[in-house]
Structure 1
């Protein structure tokens, strides 16, 4: 049994309240310390008093930590042991875990360069810049302490809070109790690389103390569903990160058969658990051939334990898998099932089960099922006509549009609720460091001030 302590301003802290974390076969793997509200309050006060590392030191420390996180022994655990623990607990294919670790290491190596992409071209990064003698905009932090309520669906979400750390914020992470291993390892590596214990902390909590972390931070970011987005929608200091509901649009004349690999990768890449995975495909014309072809391809994916090098699909405990199956079957009522209509569970015989893909065809681009984003490859195939406009395409993190209609592309790019538009044969889960995900995080973290000296 691993002991995952909180990482507070005076070092590791083992609380009396512990939570046992199980793998997807039901076996206990670790105990996680849950800190009380008073500990949270004292930690946040210590972080407000703490200095920031000088910029050169923190850039070098983040890069060192990223390398150690990916390849070295950290907090007594090798990289290999960490990978297999995350795969076993999160039910994520081991190859997906490895790719996420590589992404985090790459983001750490480039963290400061990445955040500079958000800096206005008319602003400098330091008041000492000679241009301020004649008057110049200077890019400055909006606060000193940043908090994040992290998601547990994918290790790569922990790239995000490296950016405020690179900008000089002190960072408090409340990990997901589903997968606390990644932030525990990353923060341990950051501390070993040179960050002070009062500059980056890990605060596992129950729900009662969770809001205290955000309340005492200057700015915060929260991952969750629609309920979380609604809860924090009126909080200017909190940036909610909700469902992605990414989509693909195939307009008249586009070669959907040539794009079949792109569609399948968009739906199932990375296990189909990410906000960038496509949950809906809109077809200008008859969606039936597209639905049939996508279902045939997804049906061929193997059911394997998450530690298998060939695994592609997510694994859950049998009980959790049944809950997902029941939810899908109720949600899909009235649709045409091409895949998953009789269930999506494939039991592995050890208390775990693979969640198989689901493909359903709906009869309207406005069908309520299209808004459903589930924790496995699940896609809704819908008809669409130009007369339907872009209303069905709104509230989308990534939209892949296979079209030559430039007026339509103008509309899509100008729609505020569509965060990213990929034109042509590009999967929705394509990401590159330095490009905005849901806007640049630096737009939220920073502001400009005029300095004249």
Structure 2
């Protein structure tokens, strides 16, 4: 769904668990502030010095000859990112393999310190406020969403013990020294020692998840996104300041040729991307792919969509529509979907057009040429679907989705299209802004058309249908009733528990 002093969940005994923190994204939070008046102007942010983001390898910061120019959403140069060659990656990964894993208590304490430092401290000379506005300008993510991401990362770091222990099988213990091993037990152990992460740049909160691997004792190499490398740079720097050694966690920016070496040299890896990532790595037991979410909402005939419109709007628009947990399709049973599509379009049309660093911003921002390219793609895939908002041409439902801000950047406004069939191919199209397809649904169409979903919110009282939805393997999370698709809380699996991939149970008996 989103970059620290002893923690509230300070290191615990192996058989205890920290207190449960509150969810970082409460379902009842408003999706957007009131629209900004057309003649008002956002507050200008103070300029920041150009970024110099070095690789963070086994010998400390490393500035390379080959550097990528980082640009903000208006296309202006914002700094440089060092790109390390394959040979450097090979040596860095070898150092991770040679390093020893710190004791659990030390790891958890360092994670908690790093979480708080990342969220509110000064890291590598950059204050928390400067980080927030710089990430907004680099990625186009609205300021409010960056704050949500920062809190998600802080909670993941300070609550790492609870999060990873939620994934441990109830029949397994953490250590062979546990008294249960005298009569025979299962011990939960790592599948390897070095974990590689090819990170995404669509939302800073993606960096909350891999922190769990450090809590489990992995050494970690992160390849940052070229679009938004500042969050992992700040997070890795905070982790090192908090006590993790340079041979425990690294930032390895690379070109595409060297990127494969990071995965090849790791024991296990996690990658983010589009459908091509799923196609390439879906059958690899050593790589965990994270692709499109294609999250959906189903409203059956025993429920009135008017009672749940707020939840639908929130599911589509929260996080600027950029997250895998945003709803991209809404299915309605037993009624014409047009009234829901119309009401949804009216609500989404009210969202303000603002630069990302504005406190009231809720929509993503890109360079104009990038935004125009996404708009063209949307109109091409929409085909004959009925446009209620953001469609091609002028008139009702038209006008496109690009709203230029006059500085070379553009806001991507929402789009709402109505489909004639639950089987329409457009219902699987996911774009990085609030873009939703509204379609009819029938029992004859079955649960299959609702599948391939990271989250399905099912607003229904039909328990037999809910049983079928829960049993459908391609629906990874099922939210029953009036819950937005973006809901998540610490300790709750995102796409299963990461620990299920990183760990295994091994039988142990001792004398």
Matching residue of 2:507: 450
Matching residue of 2:453: 396
- Equivalent in 160, 165, 178 of residue 209 of structure 2: 160
Distance in structure 1 (CA, Å) of the matches to 2:213 and 2:97? 15
Matched, 1:410 2:467: yes
Distance in structure 2 (CA, Å) of the matches to 1:233 and 1:243? 13
Matched, 1:317 2:367: yes
Matching residue of 1:70: 119
Q: Give runs of aligned pairs for residues 128-147 of structure 1, distance below 5 A.
A: 128-147=177-196
Q: What SS does the aligned partner of 2:400 have?
A: coil
The root-mean-square deviation of aligned C-alpha atoms, in Å, is 0.6
Unaligned runs of 5+ in 1: none
Distance in structure 1 (CA, Å) of the matches to 2:96 and 2:448? 45
Matching residue of 1:338: 388
Matching residue of 2:226: 177
Distance in structure 2 (CA, Å) of the matches to 1:421 and 1:136? 32
Distance in structure 1 (CA, Å) of the matches to 2:64 and 2:244? 23
Q: What SS does the aligned partner of 2:189 have?
A: strand
Q: Give runs of aligned pairs for residues 14-413 of structure 1, distance below 5 A.
A: 14-284=63-333, 285-341=335-391, 342-413=399-470
Give how far 1:234 is off: 2.2
Q: TM-score, normalised by structure 1?
A: 0.99
Distance in structure 2 (CA, Å) of the matches to 1:153 and 1:433? 21
Distance in structure 1 (CA, Å) of the matches to 2:74 and 2:275? 29
- CA offsets per residue over residues 152-191 of structure 1, 9 Å max, x none? 0000000111011100000000000000000000000000
Matching residue of 1:422: 479
Distance in structure 1 (CA, Å) of the matches to 2:145 and 2:315? 14
The number of residue pairs the alignment matches comes to: 453
Q: What SS does the aligned partner of 1:360 have?
A: strand
Q: TM-score, normalised by structure 2?
A: 0.88
Distance in structure 2 (CA, Å) of the matches to 1:422 and 1:131? 37
Give how far 1:131 is off: 1.1
Q: What SS does the aligned partner of 2:305 have?
A: coil
- CA offsets per residue over residues 316-361 of structure 1, 9 Å max, x none? 1111110011000111111000000131111111111110000000
Give how far 1:282 is off: 0.3
Distance in structure 2 (CA, Å) of the matches to 1:168 and 1:112? 11
- CA offsets per residue over residues 58-102 of structure 1, 9 Å max, x none? 000000000000001001110011110100111011111011101
Distance in structure 2 (CA, Å) of the matches to 1:239 and 1:96? 26
Give how far 1:204 is off: 0.3
